[in-house]
A and B are shown apart, each in its own frame.
Chain A
Amino acid sequence: MKNHSVQEGIFFLFAGAALLVYAVTSYGKAFNKDWSQSPYLFPLMVAVSFMFLAACLIREGAREQKEGARSGNLDKAGAREVRNWRGVAAVLAMCALYYGALFFVKMPYITVGILTFSFTFSTFEAATWIFLVAMMVYMGVRKPLILGLVPLGAALFLSIAFRAMLNVLLP
């Protein structure tokens, strides 16, 4: 059985050590050599405490390993967990694409005016609509009516509610 506490403890130990090195080297380079006024005093304190906690976590993990605390149906639970992690990874990938679209795609602003009410359509609305359709399809929505109406309605609602009514800027 993998012991996550030990692995995580080692990771945090390295993170604490990196912060310690950063605090000491930055202090060394700084003009002010008085620790009591140094901006690196607090990082130093936190780094030392963090390393101590990491060591405690490793110890806890090692003790757990020694005691052999393991559940009975690990393999079955493990297989389900792998499938669930894949789902999370896929959603994260979709979010990354959504973020990329908002960051790189520059669409012209199209403003539609109905009497005194105007509504603007741009990158956010288009990207959100595509993102919502993709994510709903991935999460198992198959009804064409829902896939057609809900993402479009949600994108338009977000745009009208935030951009037009609450005067909140959108990406």
Chain B
Amino acid sequence: MLDMISVMDPHFILMVFLGSLAGLFVGAIPGLSVSMATALLVSVTYTWDTVDALAMIMGVYVVGVFSGAVSAILINIPGAPSSVVTTLDGYPMSKKGQSYKALYTATIYSFTGSLFGLAALWILAGPVSKIAIKFTAMDYFLLALFGLATVGSVSSGSYTKGLISVGVGLILSMIGLDPLVGTRRLTFGIQNLTSGINTVPALVGLFGFAEVLSVVFNIHEERNVLAMEKSRVSLRETLGHWKLSLYTSTLGLLIGALPGAGGPVAAFIAYNEAKRLTRNPEVPFGEGAVEGIVASESSNNACIGGALIPMLTLAVPGDAVTAIILSVFYVHGLKPGPLFITENPSAFHSILAGGFVACFALLVLGLLVAPRISRVITIPKNILIPIVTSLCVVGAFACNNRLFDVGLMFAFGTLGFVMRRRGYPVAPLVLALVLGKVMDSNFRRAVSLASSADNKLAAMFGHWTTMILLACTIFVVVSNIPAARRVLDKALKRKKER
């Protein structure tokens, strides 16, 4: 059973609520992101109790994903990447004077989507862990490879660029002591690099400082906030889309559970499905259809629970934020994996309890505070950005108390910014940075074990889970090769014509 003491503990609830409040503002202000806030929180929560740290991070995560919709609806700029689709119908609704209705719908369906995802995490984490216990070293390598191949394909226009981003992350993950025998690699005599690249300054740089530079780059592009016109919205009418919400939440959960894919992909797919399924929408899609908001918000919030499943049971993060949360686990001495739930039930329950409490905080904040924060989301960037830069410095320094990490943060921020400008997605780099050492150690372990077997190939790939993972990885890679894609498209076209 869920640890009810955690749920009822006022201190725990307060920590989740504070995290949720922070998530609401951070997610809603364009230029600040959930990933950035979580990365900064990791450095601050170093000295905290694990349960407090997890409570606050869950608050930021759950509400931060939702609050991206606030700026998406009010100023046509998504506060988070997963809210991009919400702008398609949310902003047109605001232009028609229905911004309150749009926000209300987004809040209700973000709440149901998050609840759905977390309930699925509660139910499915145990069975997935039982399967994961049977995984071999090669399985872990292939699972990570599958995740990286997927994230490379879904996060960029060019698959090659997505994979190059993965490659850069893998190279950076090799810096420091080798995980098996402790040989120094790629340190070039720099003493501070011996322990490898600390993920916290790297993440603060890639998500925080890179965002600062992006805002500086686009400082002249300001948008107007549409006035909030409070109108009566019927809960019954809003809940009328529950079937669509259930379907798109399931989609979001499955896509979120895929290592590498995340909220933005889920929202796009769910939106297209909503378009396909809703034959006669009251308002056409793209012009203010409520169904568009229902699909987008249900799916991207259901992704939260989905993304946590592979992270907790396999130590393979589902998206960038769970990659950051993974580093929180390592910082606090927790080791996610197949045995995590049985060995650390209190941490697992804290995550679940934190998630559920955050869902209710989302509902309260979304209905009461979100409609009133239009002033906050328009804090002038020229005041906000310098302060965020100082916060990045504090966050990078706090993890190891070394100024070297601050320099590293600036370097990663610049790298992240240049990558964004040149069309290279940052998420694959982050996942590769986190997964690189896991891949390296598991691959070599698998090769070493197989080297003494008679049939080396069978020893490496003979297990049924290995074969499935290998087939999935090959499918993802091959289906993204342009020539293979053209053949696939032609075949689908012919089938349609028939």
Contacts and interface: CB of A to CB of B under 8 A. Distances in A.
B44 A139 contact: no
A149 B26 CA distance: 23
A130 B317 CA distance: 39
A10 interface: no
Interface string A23-63: 00010001010101101111101100110011011001000
A42 to B, nearest CB: 4
B216 A87 contact: yes
Given A139-B219, A139-B382, A162-B394, 8 more contacts: A4-B422, A26-B185, A57-B160, A57-B164, A60-B160, A99-B407, A132-B387, A166-B44
A36 B448 contact: yes
Nearest to B387: A154
B430 interface: no
A107 interface: no
Interface string B433-455: 00000011001100110010000
A10 B411 CA distance: 22
A19 interface: yes
11 contacts: A34-B451, A41-B444, A42-B174, A50-B171, A53-B164, A57-B161, A91-B212, A92-B213, A135-B386, A136-B383, A168-B394
A contact residues, range:
35 or more
Contacts of A68: none
A171 B393 contact: yes
Contacts of B180: 37, 39
* A contact face: mostly helix, strand, loop, or mixed: helix
B422 A102 contact: no
Nearest to A55: B160
Interface string B385-404: 11101110110011001010
Contacts of A166: 44, 47
A94 to B, nearest CB: 9
A131 B386 contact: yes
A37 B181 contact: yes
Interface in A102-158: 102-103, 128, 131-132, 135-136, 139-141, 146, 150-151, 154-155, 158
Interface of A: 4, 8, 12, 15-16, 19, 22, 26, 30, 32, 34, 36-37, 39-43, 45-46, 49-50, 53-54, 56-57, 60, 84-85, 87-88, 91-92, 95-96, 98-99, 102-103, 128, 131-132, 135-136, 139-141, 146, 150-151, 154-155, 158, 162, 166-171
Contacts of A155: 390
B417 interface: yes
Given A43-B174, A84-B217, A146 B212 contact: no
Interface in B402-419: 403, 406-407, 410, 414, 417
A43 B440 CA distance: 9
B126 interface: no
B contact residues, range:
35 or more
Contacts of B273: none
Contacts of B161: 57
A98 B183 CA distance: 35
Contacts of B391: 158
Contacts of A135: 385-386, 389
B293 interface: no
B386 A139 contact: yes
Contacts of B44: 162, 166, 168
Contacts of A141: 380, 382-383
A153 to B, nearest CB: 10
Contacts of A140: 382
B224 interface: no
Interface in B143-196: 158, 160-161, 163-164, 167, 170-171, 174, 178, 180-181, 183, 185-186
Contacts of A32: 181
A136 B160 contact: no
B342 interface: no
A171 B409 CA distance: 14
B451 A36 contact: yes
Contact of A154 (B380, B381, B390): B390
A169 B401 contact: yes
A132 B386 contact: yes
Given A87-B219, A139-B216, A162-B394, A46 B385 contact: no
A40 B440 CA distance: 10
A36 B391 CA distance: 44
A88 B216 contact: yes
B432 to A, nearest CB: 10
B178 A39 contact: yes
A170 B447 contact: no
**Most B Cβ at <10 Å: residue of A26, A131, A168:** A168
Nearest to B184: A39
B280 interface: no
A140 B220 CA distance: 11
A148 B346 CA distance: 48
B234 interface: no
B231 interface: no
